[in-house]
Amino acid sequence: MDRINIETVDLNLLKVLEALYEEGSASRAAVRLGLTQSAVSAALGRLRRLYDDHLFVRTGRGLAPTLRANELKPLVSEALDKCRQSLLLVSGARAGYAGRSLSIGLSDDFELALGKRLIDRLERDMPGLRVVFRQTHSRIVEEMLMNREIDVAIASGGFTSAAIGSETLGEGRYACLIDVTQPLAEHEVEHQHHLTLAAFLSRRHLLVSSGGFIGMVDEVLIPQGLKRTVMASTTHFSALPYLLLGSPALATIPLHAARQLAAFHPLRLLLPPVAMPAYSINLGWRRDALRDPAVMKLKEIVSDTLSSFDWQSESFDDA
């Protein structure tokens, strides 16, 4: 392939590549860029010739990036972000963060508890920024950061590489949720808000797990020679209200998510009868990403939001 002179390249094509990658659709990329779909399709044709690769292939769910597109995306976005930063030098606060999008990796229990707070704070302190919440968990979070799929991450551990910075900003606990319309017998509750061990073990459980088979509750029960019955599992905390309602089952999940779900759904929050271990709430980031003032500002806002959040307090009804 002949050597390409950058002076002959239309650098606006890089914005099209970024939009196609992030939107996964030529029509959505066109709306985002204020172009017609035919203009985006023509730009994609030029990109394919430029990089000698198909870049995106059509699937039943839109456009999927090729390996070459996966390699190009972080380089292209970093270059575009540098251009956006340079414009801030001359336009100052008037320009805000228009055109920038930054991503926060987190599981949906954290998104339930913190998402609205983060949106409100970013709207105030980083006007014009589009924040993207991407699902992650401790087993994949570091890989996602290193692959530049996310800019910062909230997780319970998983940050081990020297290229990743992290800090612990809270400590989480667990709580149980049940449908308020499924009455508890007097002997099933002790100390007002604690389930008895017999009630806890006799009820069927809903498990939230990326694997679908074993959860933290099982890791606590098994060494004591105890066992629970899991009737179903899901990968999303946000599904629990619709799985619990009308059922005598219970779910044991992080307290911060349980509080939020109980606040908006007819669910009762109780404390488990077994000693569940506390877990750390960590913020992680790529060290080299902090050269970008926008990522640095995002990190500061997420750090402040995590630090000021009340991870420990319980909120009970009087039922």
Taken in order of first residue, the domains within the chain and their CATH numbers are 6-71 (1.10.10.10), 96-172+280-308 (3.40.190.10), 174-277 (3.40.190.10)
pLDDT, tens digit, for every residue of 169-198?
999 999 999 999 987 877 888 776 888 999
CA distance 202 to 222: 15
CA distance 256 to 260: 7
Q: Residue 238 above 60 pLDDT?
A: yes
User: Are the C-beta atoms of 287 and 167 separated by less than 8 Å?
Assistant: no
Q: Residue 80 above 70 pLDDT?
A: yes
Q: 3-state SS string over the chain?
A: CCCCCHHHCCCHHHHHHHHHHHHCCHHHHHHHHCCCHHHHHHHHHHHHHHHCCCCEEEECCEEEECHHHHHHHHHHHHHHHHHHHHHHHHHHHHHCCCCCEEEEEECHHHHHHHHHHHHHHHHHHCCCCEEEEEECCCCCHHHHHHCCCCCEEEECCCCCCCCEEEEEEEEECEEEEEECCCCCCHHHEECCCEECHHHHHHCEEEEECCCCCCCHHHHHHHHHCCCCEEEEEECCHHHHHHHHCCCCCEEEEEHHHHHHHHHHCCEEEEECCCCCCCEEEEEEEEHHHHHCHHHHHHHHHHHHHHHHCCCCCCCCCCC
Query: Is residue 318 very low, low, confident or very high in pLDDT (cuts 50, 70, 90)?
Result: very low
CA distance 101 to 44: 21
Which is higher by pLDDT, 227 or 192?
Answer: 227
The percent of residues in the chain predicted with pLDDT above 70, rounded, is 93
Amino acid at 304: D
103 sits in the region (left: phi over 0; alpha: psi -120 to 50; else beta) called beta
What pLDDT shows up at residue 319?
37
Q: Residue 91 above 70 pLDDT?
A: no
What pLDDT shows up at residue 191?
72
Helix 12-23 to helix 37-51 angle (10° resolution) is 110
Query: Is residue 211 very low, low, confident or very high in pLDDT (cuts 50, 70, 90)?
Result: confident
What pLDDT shows up at residue 88?
66
pLDDT, tens digit, for every residue of 267-305?
999 999 999 999 999 999 999 888 888 899 999 999 999
Q: Residue 108 above 50 pLDDT?
A: yes
User: Are the C-beta atoms of 105 and 92 separated by less than 8 Å?
Assistant: no
pLDDT, tens digit, for every residue of 132-168?
999 999 999 999 999 888 999 999 999 999 999 999 9
